[in-house]
Amino acid sequence: MSRIDDLLARLAPDGVPFRWVGELARVGTGSSDRKDATPGGRYPFYVRSRDIMRIDSFEFDEEAIVIPGEGGIGDIYHYVEGKYSLHQRAYRISIYAPELSSKFAYYYLTAHFKRFIMLRAVSATVTSIRKPMITEFQIPVPPREVQAEIVRILDGFQELEAELEAELEAELEARGRQYAHYLDDLLSFPDSVQSRALGEVIEDLRTGLNPRQNFTLNPPDARNFYVTVRELDGFGIRTTAKTDRINDEGLARIQARSRLRVGDVLFSGTGTIGRTALVAGEPVDWNIKEGVYAITPINDFVVPRFLIHLLHSTPVQSAILAAADGSTVASVSMAALRRVRIPVPPIDEQRRIATILDSFDALVNDLSTGLPAEIAARRQQYEHYRDRLLTFKEAPA
């Protein structure tokens, strides 16, 4: 930071001017549609996502910043140099003012544009933007020497971050393969280990309720979570601001059918078959959708955490999928699930295996520890330094 501070003290001691994007750049949309894309085409085709498509013709030949006009607003930015085509609902910001670097403007937008958009939103999210929302955004215009130094630093940060992230993701993938190997290895048993139908080693198997026939989702007084397949996360339940909610009456009506209790194993029997979670604490403010099954193991026969690992193993998954029906939306009935055979080693052996596999699972999947948290920390560190570099004192008018 000292190099930037020295440059600003020497070249802009009173601060830097802020200018409207509309004064500095051409702003507009493209005219292409996704149907125009050509796999392996000659030119990049920017649509409304992080993924870049290809096309055989180009609309622009320039240096520009591309952002979506719908979806991913404030989260997706592309820096473009050369020939490209653009979706009709994506925007290009092509800087023509000689006093502003396009790459500097790109970095400033990634740091500050989303906050600007959210302040102008009337709801919690912005689903689309219009041209004035871009042209009325203000960008600082420090001396070009300062812009060049900031771009050099951030380019270096981004390159380093990409390398570190690639290394961490490769490590994460390797650990995932290692977990899968140990999962199948530890859960492969000799013929001497007894095999039993799932229904023989559980007390009960039941499901929740479908809201369309039984209650209204997200009423004004809703405060309880309504857990569907998407919230099942291995051993936990991941809820977000987008998770549906139900009121106390709806919660009670589901509980009358699901009868959830601590130690139950949740299993997705429809859609994405095989997702799991463990009911680790008293379910006082949530319940499950129809199609999410609650399995209550008989503790003398099977350990819940062992059962979850077993449900993720290749042989048991294959048996479950073989028992699924062939309808458009895949599903396995509770009756069919009861008939799936699983190995049942002694309880002490189940606990030993579960402890080993738990450690691998935590390393691969736990967002608060392990490699995913390290990847998130790297991103946060980069954003911190980027935001510091792109914060300026405004010069008096």
Let me know: does 293 contact 206? Beta carbons within 8 Å: yes
For domain 194-344, say whether CATH 3.30.540.10 is its number. Answer: no
Lowest mean pLDDT among 17-21, 66-70, 170-174, 194-198: 170-174
pLDDT at 53 over 90: yes
Q: What is the pLDDT of residue 290?
A: 93
CA–CA separation, 89 vs 118, rounded Å?
19
* DSSP classification of residue 300: T
What tens digit of pLDDT does each residue of 175-218 get? Answer: 888 888 888 899 998 888 999 999 999 999 999 998 877 788 88
Q: What is the pLDDT of residue 337?
A: 95
CA–CA separation, 143 vs 99, rounded Å?
8
Sorting pLDDT into bands at 50, 70 and 90, what band is 376? confident
pLDDT at 61 over 90: yes
Instruction: Give the residue-averaged pLDDT of 343-360.
Output: 93
pLDDT at 347 over 70: yes
Amino acid at position 52, single letter: I
pLDDT at 14 over 60: yes
- Classified as helix, coil or strand, 192 is coil
What tens digit of pLDDT does each residue of 62-88 get? Answer: 999 999 988 788 889 999 999 999 999
What tens digit of pLDDT does each residue of 258-311 get? Answer: 999 999 999 999 988 999 999 999 999 999 999 999 999 999 999 999 999 999
Quote the Cα angle for 208-267-171, to 5°: 140
Torsion of CA 309, 311, 316, 320, to 10 degrees: -170
* Secondary structure element (H or E) that encloses residue 384, with its range: helix 370-389
Q: What mean pLDDT value characterizes the chain?
A: 90
Q: Residues 126, 49, 108, 63: is their CA dihedral positive or negative?
A: negative
* Distant-in-sequence, close-in-space partners of 78: CB < 8 Å, separation ≥ 6: 46, 52, 65, 66, 67
Percent of the chain clearing pLDDT 90 (strictly above) = 62
Residue 330 is encoded by which pair of tokens? 């895949």
Let me know: does 68 contact 89? Beta carbons within 8 Å: yes
End-to-end CA gap in the chain: 26
Q: What is the pLDDT of residue 71?
A: 79
What tens digit of pLDDT does each residue of 42-52 get? Answer: 999 999 889 99
Torsion of CA 221, 226, 231, 234, to 10 degrees: 130
Sorting pLDDT into bands at 50, 70 and 90, what band is 123? low
Sorting pLDDT into bands at 50, 70 and 90, what band is 232? very high
* Secondary structure element (H or E) that encloses residue 90, with its range: strand 90-95
Percent of the chain clearing pLDDT 70 (strictly above) = 95
- Classified as helix, coil or strand, 303 is coil
CA–CA separation, 58 vs 61, rounded Å?
8
pLDDT at 23 over 90: yes
Sorting pLDDT into bands at 50, 70 and 90, what band is 366? low
Q: What is the pLDDT of residue 162?
A: 82
Residue 26 is encoded by which pair of tokens? 């051409």
Sorting pLDDT into bands at 50, 70 and 90, what band is 1? low
Instruction: Give the residue-averaged pLDDT of 29-50.
Output: 93
CATH of domain 17-141: 3.90.220.20
| CA of residue 75 relative to chain centroid, distance | 12
Please classify residue 279 by burial: count the beta carbons closer than 10 Å to its beta carbon, then call 0-12 exposed, 13-18 middle and 19+ buried.
Answer: buried
- Classified as helix, coil or strand, 100 is coil
Sorting pLDDT into bands at 50, 70 and 90, what band is 329? low
CA–CA separation, 128 vs 133, rounded Å?
10
Q: What is the pLDDT of residue 196?
A: 94
Q: What is the pLDDT of residue 152?
A: 95
pLDDT at 368 over 80: no
Task: Please provide the size of the chain in residues.
Answer: 397
CA-based Rg of the chain, rounded to a whole angstrom? Answer: 27
Q: What is the pLDDT of residue 219?
A: 87
Nearest CA to 34 out of 87, 85, 76, 73 is that of 87
What tens digit of pLDDT does each residue of 156-169 get? Answer: 988 887 887 788 77
User: Which residues on adjacent β-strands are paired with residue 365?
Assistant: none
pLDDT at 388 over 60: yes
Range(s) of the chain covered by CATH 3.90.220.20 = 17-141, 194-344
